[in-house]
């Protein structure tokens, strides 16, 4: 059982990042579906890479430089996987007026003006928000932000239908529906790291991230009738930004 769960975990790493995984890890549709429970755990790994790069860089350079290098490290680790999803989703919703046209735009490898603006705002937003935090909190914010935002994407898997358009789909969905047990595993990857941050800030961060996820889910349901892989990436990016916004909020 342990080997099976490790295979699911490494499968999630292989799907969501460019990090190497052991050669014995197999690949199948069933394993890919089961690996969705470890989406937030992959967020911990990516956030941990960012935190380590930040801590090392902060010993040599000013905080803004350290934050920039940590962001570059996380983007390199994921191959800009979620940023690409954000750009495609914004292009589709911004340029299309009906389902098939939106999906067609999202499938297009070219990036439109909506996508470029969204990516610039997202990167500048994260850079600005992380620099607004106390230096000592930034490593924990990276861990929690990357993990919780991926939990938000996982909730779409658990509550919405995948938009099946075989002629337009880029790839098979990660999972069609998550079981309650799988959702608890995903939640268990996130909760411990949240206690590394001030509780009041964490509560506002989680609330804002959840609100942004709910808003996106409404848009996806209205325009698409469900989600696509790009929608999951967009949700991760947007909820991560709103998580950092919550950490900075003073009520």
DSSP annotation of 250: -
Q: Quick one: which of 236, 244, 225, 187 has its CA closest to 87?
A: 236
79: left (phi over 0), alpha (psi -120 to 50) or beta: left
- Cβ contact 195:229 at 8 Å: no
The answer to whether residues 145 and 133 touch, using CB atoms and an 8 Å cutoff, is no
Domain boundaries, the chain: 40-248
The verdict on pTM exceeding 0.85 is: yes
Give strand pairing partners of 162. 227
Distance CA 104, CA 7 (A): 34
Per-residue pLDDT of the chain (251 residues; tens, 9 = 90+): 777 788 889 989 998 999 998 878 777 666 677 788 999 999 999 999 999 999 999 999 999 999 999 999 999 999 999 999 999 999 999 988 899 999 999 998 899 999 999 999 999 999 999 999 999 999 999 999 999 999 999 999 888 999 865 544 544 555 556 778 888 889 999 999 999 999 999 999 999 999 999 999 999 999 999 999 999 999 999 999 999 999 999 87
């Amino acid at each position: 059982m342990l080997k099976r769960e490790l295979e699911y975990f490494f499968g999630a790493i292989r799907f969501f990042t460019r990090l190497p995984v052991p050669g014995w890890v197999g690949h199948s549709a069933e394993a890919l579906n089961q690996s969705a429970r470890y989406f937030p755990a992959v967020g911990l790994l990516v956030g941990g890479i960012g935190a380590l790069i930040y801590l090392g860089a902060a010993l040599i350079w000013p905080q803004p430089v350290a934050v920039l290098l940590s962001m570059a490290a996380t983007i390199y680790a994921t191959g800009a996987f979620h940023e690409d999803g954000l750009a495609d989703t914004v292009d589709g919703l911004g340029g299309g007026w009906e389902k098939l046209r939106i999906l067609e735009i999202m499938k297009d490898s070219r990036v439109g003006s909506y996508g470029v603006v969204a990516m610039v705002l997202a990167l500048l937003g994260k850079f600005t928000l992380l620099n607004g935090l106390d230096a000592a909190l930034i490593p924990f914010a990276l861990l929690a932000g990357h993990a919780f935002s991926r939990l938000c994407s996982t909730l779409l898997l658990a509550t919405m239908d995948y938009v099946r358009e075989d002629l337009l789909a880029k790839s098979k969905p990660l999972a069609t529906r998550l079981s309650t047990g799988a959702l608890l595993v995903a939640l268990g990857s996130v909760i411990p790291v949240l206690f590394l941050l001030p509780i009041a800030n964490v509560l506002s961060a989680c609330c804002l991230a959840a609100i942004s996820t709910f808003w996106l889910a409404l848009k996806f349901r209205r325009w698409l009738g469900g989600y696509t892989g790009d929608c999951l990436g967009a949700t991760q990016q947007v909820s991560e930004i709103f998580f950092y916004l919550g950490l900075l909020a003073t009520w």
